Amino acid sequence: MKDLLRFNKISLYAIAFVYLFYSCKQQEELVRNDANGAALGTTYNLIYFSEAPLDLQSQIDSVFAVMNHSLSTYIPESDISKINRGDSTLIVDKMFQEVFQLSKEVHKETKGYFDPTVGTLVNAWGFGPGKQIQLDSAKVDSLLNYVGFNKVQLSKENTILKDDPSIYFDFNAIAKGYAIDRLAKMMDANGITNYLLEVGGELVARGINPIKNKTWVVGIDDPQVVEGRELKLIIKLQNKAMASSGNYRKFRVDEKTGKKYVHTINPITGYTKNGTTLGVTVLANSCAEADAYATSFMAMELKEVKMLLKNIKTLEAYIIYLDNNGETQEFMTAGFKELVVK
């Protein structure tokens, strides 16, 4: 009996050694592939590993092309542009449907702070493709009549119904994250299990970094560094999506008054949000979710964000903000804290 046990142990060790050797050999043979360029009004950098050199550029370009055709407000002939001009007969594609439904969910969870019908205000404040106008309280109140995700519906025929034809969609706060999710699905379909995808600072990580045989490691920008870039902290990212939002780089200054207007617009008040939150980073199962919630958290009060994070267990967050004394403070969920590289 002792000999049998000894034999089993030796066999197991041998199998483990062979598996480890084979596993390491596999990792060594993996080829790093890179794709980078410009798309969706920003840049992208994609890293993926395969057993042999694999050029997926045509498929990558196709994902961006379909995204633009469906959801770009900057392309006049896109589906969303046609809908914004009042087309109520257009049957939207699967991408539009999924983004619409997820937007509806996040709108409900954030009690209206995430609202893609804020497009009319985005344009009016000078952050969209539409005409910027001079705003006062009366005009803001007037434009709020065209804001509210409860005023739009996706019909059974997959057409968009609007209470008012002037309601203007702007999915830019979720579309970039969704695009990365689509790229991730494309990688999965090609049998790629180790990749790090970045589009405009938003990320999806799967598997590991085979070169180092370690979890992917990514950095988060310091929102208080205006000139250049400096990392605030570094975290491990595995099989998760990450999105960040902040007003530190996205703002405009009125040429006449010199007043600064940040790009975060509160869809409930109609005004740009000059709050105490400097930057938000959200981790979620999908980048579209992370993107949408990161935008929402910039418009919400910190106490509201903390309450929501308690209720949604799939989200982790890191928030940099100013306290009542103007001092920089940090908040992070327990799950986020575990991922910080010290």
256 or 106: which carries more pLDDT confidence? 106
pLDDT for 139: 80
Q: What pairing do the DSSP bridges indicate for beta strands 160-162 and 42-50? A: unpaired
Which pLDDT value is given to residue 70? 97
Asked, for residue 304, whether it belongs to a domain, the answer is: yes
Confidence of residue 256 (pLDDT cuts 50, 70, 90): low
Count of domains for the chain: 1
Give per-residue pLDDT as tens, 2-54.
443 343 433 433 333 433 343 444 445 899 999 999 999 999 999 999 999 99
CATH of the domain at 280: 3.10.520.10
Confidence at residue 276, expressed as pLDDT on a 0 to 100 scale = 78
Backbone angles phi, psi at 326, to 5 degrees: 80, 10
199 falls within a domain: yes
Q: For residue 9, is it within any domain?
A: no
CA distance 179 to 65: 10
Give the span between the Cα atoms of 28 and 210, in whole angstroms. Answer: 8
- Does some domain include residue 8? no
List CB contacts of 83: < 8 A, sequence separation 6 or more. Answer: 90, 92, 160, 169
* pLDDT tens column, 100-136: 999 999 999 999 999 999 878 877 777 666 666 566 6
User: Both tokens of residue 224?
Assistant: 């208080």
Both tokens of 142, joined, read 């007037």
Identify the DSSP state of 214: B
> Predicted confidence band at 161 (pLDDT cuts at 50, 70, 90)?
very high
Length of the chain: 342
Domain extent for 157:
39-337
- Sequence-distant (6+) residues with CB within 8 A of 171 are 71, 73, 80, 99, 103, 116, 178
65 lies in some domain: yes
Nearest to 221 by CA among 198, 240, 239: 198
Instruction: Give percent of the chain above pLDDT 70.
Output: 82
**What single letter denotes the amino acid at residue 135?**
L
| pLDDT at residue number 4 | 39
Round to whole Å and give the CA distance between 280 and 112. Answer: 18
Facing residues of 45 across strands? Answer: 36, 198
Maximum CA extent, the chain? 91
Confidence of residue 294 (pLDDT cuts 50, 70, 90): very high
Query: Residue 183 above 70 pLDDT?
Result: yes
The pLDDT, as a whole number, for residue 121 is 84
Q: Answer yes or no: is 68 within a domain.
A: yes
The candidate with the shortest Cα–Cα distance to 183, out of 166, 168, 158, 202, is 202
Q: Both tokens of residue 108?
A: 């409900």
Q: Is residue 90 part of a domain?
A: yes
| 14: helix, strand or coil | helix
Tell me what percent of the chain is helix, strand and coil, each rounded to the nearest 5: 40, 25, 35
User: Dihedral of CA 332/109/304/168: which sign?
Assistant: positive
User: Residue 28: inside a domain, yes or no?
Assistant: no
Average pLDDT, the chain: 85
